[in-house]
């Protein structure tokens, strides 16, 4: 059969590879976890969870929430940081869902982590966004956690080295972006590097290019993921703003101290959405050459992807497309949530709903409320 359909070999390799490649965002599954990250549960239970009947939260995270080896190790060494990692998972998932809520691909697949659908494993544009927002959210959460004093190993940012522009002094407590980025690199980038190294080892000199294809691609995808992680962190760095506080007699601003504060996560999401729109497709084989030929500056800020995405109009499980049948659209809008765009030209149906509510409520005497019953008709539009 393989003689007759040689392309099948390619397809099988293709599918196999990409099912493996989203491994380092599986920790986003912590958005649903209710693990207790405390040392008590670990001390009672030094590494040998099964025997004592209680498991260390890091072992559970590895088994159930898709932590890979290096992440589980960091978890054990820095457990006090783990509740913040969990917060970051929620922040990343929520931001992604909010940013994409009006679009055909609406980030709902992030909810099924640690099981990832092909839209988030084939090195797509969507995957690029998710990597960037995850790395950004972890950086963000840790930077805040440091400044809020809830971590033992870090506190407020050190004062900026550049002299203040204006009549203020550096002071206050800046969000510790440096430490946040450092942690995000250890937790996410190191995991990705581990995958890349493993793939590199599987490239055998005596094999043909085709035989090595899977390992090479895996390594290249990891390199791209690392790049996208960096873009996410950079967006935060670029969004830093100066916040100030006045000191002085009765509200006068005789002395002003300022520090650098993070942008809002919504801003980070919006900025990354722009980068998603302008993301750049990379030829798999030539990633490293590509980097060399393009001017570094030009490429360094863009999100990168390998596989073209489907239009997400129709359901196709192989591509991780859920389709838009039944999605609520807006007849008057011109944006991506308009019925025309969201329903991909298939049309829509109008759902009329009657709402029965208590209304026009009035107080009688002191303590008695009387309402009328109102019926209102509302219309919804759903893609056919
Ligand atoms: C520690 O974790 C256990 C569960 O493993 C939980 O019952 C307990 O309340 C936690 N203790 C603290 C102080 O959070
Ligand atoms: C996102 O899209 C999926 C598939 O089209 C749909 O089932 C889900 O309800 C959507 N979520 C939101 C919040 O619109
Ligand atoms: C539909 O879009 C219009 C124009 O963007 C907006 O004013 C309106 O609030 C939207 N309707 C709903 C139900 O979201």
What is the DSSP secondary-structure string of 323-370? --TT-EEBSS--STTBHHHHTTTS-EEEEEEEEEEEEEEEEETTTEEE
145 occurs within a structural domain: yes
Confidence (pLDDT) at 284 = 65
Confidence (pLDDT) at 133 = 98
10 occurs within a structural domain: yes
Are 368 and 268 within one domain? Answer: no
Ligand 1 centre from 35 Cα, in Å?
Answer: 9
Burial class (CB in 10 A: 0-12, 13-18, 19+), 193: middle
The 10s digit of each residue's pLDDT in 202-255 is: 888 888 777 777 787 888 888 889 999 999 999 999 999 999 998 888 778 888
Are 133 and 226 within one domain? Answer: yes
Domain that holds residue 361: 324-384
Confidence (pLDDT) at 298 = 57
* pTM (2 d.p.): 0.85
**Cα–Cα distance for residue pair 255/245, rounded to 1 Å:** 8
**Cα–Cα distance for residue pair 200/276, rounded to 1 Å:** 28
Q: Which residues contact 217 (CB under 8 A, 6 or more apart)?
A: 17, 284
248 occurs within a structural domain: no
Residue closest via CA to ligand 3's atom 13 equals 330
Are 293 and 361 within one domain? Answer: no
Count of residues making up the chain: 384
**What is the number of the ligand 1 atom nearest to the C-alpha of 41?**
5
Most informative mutation of 102, 332, 340, 379 for ligand 3 (most atoms within 8 A of CB): 332
Are 78 and 101 within one domain? Answer: yes
Are 220 and 333 within one domain? Answer: no
Among positive and negative, which fits the CA dihedral 86, 119, 129, 188?
A: positive
**What is the number of the ligand 2 atom nearest to the C-alpha of 323?**
5
Confidence (pLDDT) at 255 = 87
Ligand 3 centre from 333 Cα, in Å?
Answer: 6
Ligand 1 centre from 57 Cα, in Å?
Answer: 11
Evaluate: CB of 328 within 6 angstroms of ligand 3. Answer: no
Are 227 and 342 within one domain? Answer: no
Are 329 and 273 within one domain? Answer: no
Given a cut of 70, the residues of the chain with pLDDT beneath it are 1-22, 39-55, 284-299
C-alpha distances out from residue 91 to 62, 85, 98, 145, 232, Å = 21, 10, 10, 14, 14
Residue closest via CA to ligand 3's atom 14 equals 330
Burial class (CB in 10 A: 0-12, 13-18, 19+), 291: middle
Confidence (pLDDT) at 363 = 85
- Give the total number of structural domains in the chain: 2
**Cα–Cα distance for residue pair 271/273, rounded to 1 Å:** 5
242 occurs within a structural domain: no
Asked whether 339 and 350 are in contact (CB, 8 A), the reply is: no
Residue closest via CA to ligand 2's atom 4 equals 322
Evaluate: CB of 38 within 6 angstroms of ligand 1. Answer: yes
Nearest to 61 by CA among 41, 16, 51, 327: 41
Write down the residue that tokens 């839209």 correspond to: 119
Confidence (pLDDT) at 50 = 44
- For residue 94, the ligand closest to its alpha carbon is 2
Confidence (pLDDT) at 54 = 54
Residue closest via CA to ligand 3's atom 5 equals 333
């Amino acid at each position: 059969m393989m003689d007759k359909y040689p392309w099948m070999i390619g397809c099988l390799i293709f599918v196999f590879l990409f099912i493996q490649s989203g491994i380092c965002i599986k920790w986003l599954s912590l958005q649903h976890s209710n693990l207790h990250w405390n040392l008590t549960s670990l001390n009672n239970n030094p590494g040998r969870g099964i025997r004592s009947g209680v498991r260390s939260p890091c072992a559970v995270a590895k088994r159930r929430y898709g932590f890979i080896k290096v992440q589980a190790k960091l978890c054990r060494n820095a457990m006090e940081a783990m509740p913040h990692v969990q917060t970051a998972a929620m922040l990343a998932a929520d931001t992604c869902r909010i940013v994409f809520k009006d679009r055909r691909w609406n980030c709902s697949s992030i909810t099924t982590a640690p099981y990832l659908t092909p839209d988030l494993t084939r090195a797509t544009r969507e995957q690029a966004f998710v990597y960037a927002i995850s790395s950004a959210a972890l950086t963000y959460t840790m930077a805040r956690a440091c400044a809020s004093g809830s971590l033992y190993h870090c506190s407020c940012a050190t004062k900026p080295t550049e002299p203040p522009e204006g009549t203020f002094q550096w002071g206050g407590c800046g969000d510790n972006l440096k430490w946040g980025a450092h942690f995000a690199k250890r937790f996410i980038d190191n995991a990705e590097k581990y995958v890349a190294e493993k793939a590199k080892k599987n490239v055998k000199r005596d094999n043909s290019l085709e035989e090595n294809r899977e390992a090479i691609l895996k390594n290249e995808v990891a390199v791209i993921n690392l790049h996208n992680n960096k873009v996410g962190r950079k967006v935060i760095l670029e969004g830093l703003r100066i916040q100030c506080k006045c000191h002085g007699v009765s509200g006068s601003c005789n002395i002003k101290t300022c520090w650098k504060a993070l942008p809002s996560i919504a801003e980070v999401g919006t900025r990354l959405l722009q980068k998603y729109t302008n993301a750049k497709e990379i030829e798999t084989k030539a990633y490293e050459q590509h980097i060399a030929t393009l001017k570094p500056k030009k490429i360094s800020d863009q999100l990168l992807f390998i596989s073209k995405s489907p239009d997400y109009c129709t359901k196709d499980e192989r591509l991780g497309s859920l389709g838009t049948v039944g999605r609520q659209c807006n007849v008057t809008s011109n944006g991506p949530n308009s019925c025309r765009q969201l329903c991909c030209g298939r049309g829509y149906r109008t759902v009329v709903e009657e709402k029965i509510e208590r209304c026009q409520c009035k107080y009688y005497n002191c303590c008695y409320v009387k309402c009328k019953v109102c019926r209102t008709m509302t219309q919804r539009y759903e893609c056919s």
